Structure 1
Amino acid sequence: MKGMGMMSQQRRKPMAEINVVPYIDVMLVLLVIFMVTAPMLTQGVKVDLPETTSDPIQQDKDVEPITVSVDSNGAYYLEVGDDRGNAISLEQVREQVAKILSQRTSAEVLVRGDEYVDYGQVVRLMAELKSAGATGIGLITDAPDDNR
């Protein structure tokens, strides 16, 4: 009788394994959610960027760049972080960029000019940015398609 009791104790040894199937299910659900919501996070002004090959700009990870967009109609948009405002005048761009640069001197200024905007408008914008205190101005472009 005593031998039978020991046999039953040996068969009921506790399992030391973790069931990871529920964790995999949760991970897959989160993956699907992020895949669906990620394209919605990209906001901004619709601009057809000129295509060219260039090296990427090295950015300081701590300071978000100031982006000024010029759409095909010649309207200016100031984008700082997640704040994408309405169309503003060139003088307002200069005033707001000067205010931002007075607080964050190391902020980088980038220009997103539509491919079909008048070249003179981009040059005037860059001159105003320079007068606002921007020491370096970068131009944003798209990589060219190989299908052309």
Structure 2
Amino acid sequence: MAFASFDGRRGAQLTAEINVVPLIDVMLVLLVIFIVTAPLLTHAVKLDLPRASSSANEPPPQRIEFAIDASGQRFWNGEPVSREAAAARLAAEGRREPKPELQLRADHRVRYGDVAQTLADAAAAGLTRIGFVSEPEGR
């Protein structure tokens, strides 16, 4: 930085140094502008995204199709079985994990006692997922 002197011959000369004070003022103004405008430049869209879990997918439980015809004959996945054999198979299936789903299909003319016995055998075996299969009207 140059200082002025009282020498008359040198007083009329220009100094060749750069004045940095206005440059600092401009930089501070630009800094404030960028600080103020930076949050306004983010265009975020508010979304409610689904949560993902990292748990393993369990296979769907096995399905047992159990049918009782009008004469009271029992069928295990299409194979005829007696009540005792069906109770033994239900007990074996009740010990498995995951427990299978029992789908009970009974003829509309079957005695209620046969259906109740099958439900009691399934409950004694520990099977809790029991579905009743029916056909829609009009068929």
Using structure 1 for the length normalisation, give the TM-score. 0.50
Change (3 A) 1:142 1:61: farther
Q: Which residue of 2 aligns with 1:113?
A: 106
Shift of 1:61: 6.7
Find out whether 1:101 has 2:103 as its counterpart. Answer: no
1:111-133 superposed Cα distances (whole Å, 9 cap, x missing partner): 11011111111111111111111
Count of residues paired in the alignment: 82
Shift of 1:62: 2.8
Q: Which residue of 2 aligns with 1:144?
A: 137
Give the alignment's Cα RMSD to 1 decimal: 2.0
Q: Which residue of 2 aligns with 1:71?
A: 69
Find out whether 1:127 has 2:125 as its counterpart. Answer: no
Between the aligned partners of 1:65 and 1:95, the Cα distance in structure 2 is 17
1:86-134 superposed Cα distances (whole Å, 9 cap, x missing partner): x211121111122123224331111110111111111111111111111
Identity across the alignment (%): 23
> Structure 2 matches for 1:1-148, cutoff 5 A?
62-79=60-77, 84-85=78-79, 87-145=80-138
Show structure 1 runs of 5+ residues with no match: 1-59
Change (3 A) 1:69 1:125: same
Between the aligned partners of 1:136 and 1:64, the Cα distance in structure 2 is 11
Show structure 2 runs of 5+ residues with no match: 1-57
Query: Which structure's CA Rg is the greater one?
Result: 2
1:12-56 superposed Cα distances (whole Å, 9 cap, x missing partner): xxxxxxxxxxxxxxxxxxxxxxxxxxxxxxxxxxxxxxxxxxxxx
- Relative contact order, CA 8 A, sep 6+: which one is greater? 1
Moved over 3 A (4+): none
- Please tell me whether the aligned partners of residues 70 and 108 of structure 2 are also in contact (alpha carbons under 8 angstroms): yes
Between the aligned partners of 2:137 and 2:59, the Cα distance in structure 1 is 26
- Please tell me whether the aligned partners of residues 90 and 122 of structure 2 are also in contact (alpha carbons under 8 angstroms): yes
